[in-house]
Amino acid sequence: MWVTSQSVVKTFYLFGWLALLGNVACVHKHKGRTSVLGHAEAIVSHFRDGYDGFRGYFQLLIGPEYKNEKIFNLLYFRTDEVFGYVGLLNYNNSRVFDAHFSVWNVNSATPGKGFGCVEFNNGDADRGYKCVKESFPLIRNHIYFVDVEITESSIRAYITSGFESLESRESFHIQRRLIGSMSYCKGMQNLRPLGYYVHNIRDRDSCDVANSLVAVNFAPMQFVQNDFVKHTTLGNAHVFNSKCKDPFVLIAVAEDKKSVIYFTRPSFVYT
């Protein structure tokens, strides 16, 4: 069963995005300044029922300037019981990224080797755990896989090293690093990817000085017990709340709906 209900997705997006801004990404507001680039999202046309895992894929290319305030490239997901994000964050005004996994409504978290987990709690409706590895080694022109899986009351996220192609995208015998494992009070079901978020934050007044970024996100695949793979497609993609016009910030879904590209002032040299 395909699910493309944008009204349902938007409701979860709005709550999750605001909570992410407040608790996870530590976005600071400066008087008289806002993010001129806005943020982008691409909805995933997913299969709703019976799946216990998914794999997302992404590729980031960053321009030579050191002008980005923060960068998010995250895949939003939910089960019938919990919701969260997985992907990469950068908020150090540099090319250093953090691998990130956050889930709302879970009760505990155990980090993978080299990762750390902390609780966030701003009330009953805004609490959970995040697991992070700082200074994740991002290699240019490489594609990274992120897996999220559920088994009864446990939800786990993994990230791979970089690949030069998508040839291994259906393989469950590749090396993965556990980001973290989190527990809920009962069994979870119907895990599905809902959409990609890309946010290249330039906390200044001018679009002309926005940092160059190209983010390519590929339609995730869903699976059951590391088997029975089905590939999703991508639906609508939009840039929201941007003060910049073309060609400063754009997002477009490929004709086959298997990938979406986002860019802000792309330059000819990336690192």
Q: Tell me the per-residue pLDDT of 211-260, one tens digit each, with 9 for 90 and over.
A: 778 899 999 999 998 888 999 999 999 998 888 876 678 899 999 999 99
Residue of higher predicted confidence among 264 and 177: 177
Can you give the pTM of this predicted structure? Answer: 0.85
What residues make up the domain containing 95? 2-264
pLDDT bin (cut points 50, 70, 90) of residue 9 is: very low
Q: Is residue 269 part of a domain?
A: no
Closest Cα partner for 251 from 197, 171, 172, 204? 197
User: For 197-223, what is the mean pLDDT?
Assistant: 82
In a domain, 165, yes or no: yes
Q: Is the pLDDT of residue 13 over 50?
A: no
Q: What is the mean pLDDT of residues 189-215?
A: 83
Tokens of 238: 């939009």
Structure tokens at 127: 């609490």
Give strand ranges (E) for 79-202: 83-90, 97-104, 108-111, 116-121, 127-136, 144-151, 154-159, 177-183, 192-201
d(CA 239, CA 249): 8
Q: Is the peptide bond before 247 cis (omega within 30 degrees of 0)?
A: yes
Q: How confident is the model over 33-60, as a mean pLDDT?
A: 89
> Could you read off the pLDDT of 136-181 as tens digits, one per residue?
888 878 999 999 999 999 999 999 999 999 999 999 899 999 999 9
3-state secondary structure of 93: coil
* Structure-model confidence comparison of residues 30 and 259, the more confident one: 259
More confident: 85 or 7: 85
Check: CB of residue 217 under 8 Å from CB of residue 79: no
- 270: in domain: no
Q: How many CB atoms lie within 10 A of CB 194?
A: 22
> 4 vs 140, which has greater pLDDT?
140
- pLDDT band of residue 65 (cuts 50, 70, 90) is low
Q: Does residue 86 form part of some domain?
A: yes
**How far is it, in rounded angstroms, from Cα 132 to Cα 128?**
14
Q: Please, are residues 239 and 40 in contact by the beta-carbon 8 Å criterion?
A: yes
Q: Which amino acid is at 200?
A: N
Contact 120, 129 (CB under 8 A): yes
In a domain, 202, yes or no: yes
CA 93 – CA 202 distance, rounded (Å): 10
In a domain, 271, yes or no: no
Split at pLDDT 50, 70, 90, the class of 28 is very low
Q: For position 101, which CATH number holds? A: 2.60.120
Domain membership of residue 191 (yes or no) is yes
Q: Is the pLDDT of residue 32 over 60?
A: no
State how many domains the chain has: 1
Residue 197 neighbours by CB under 8 Å, 6+ apart: 13, 17, 39, 40, 41, 72, 73, 74, 75, 76, 85
Q: How many CA atoms does the CB half-sphere of 209 hold within 13 Å?
A: 10
pLDDT in tens, 78-118: 999 999 999 998 876 666 789 999 999 999 999 999 999 99
How far is the C-alpha of 86 from the C-alpha of 167, rounded, in Å? 22
Could you tell me how many helices (H) and strands (E) the chain has, helices first?
1, 18
pLDDT score recorded for residue 165: 92
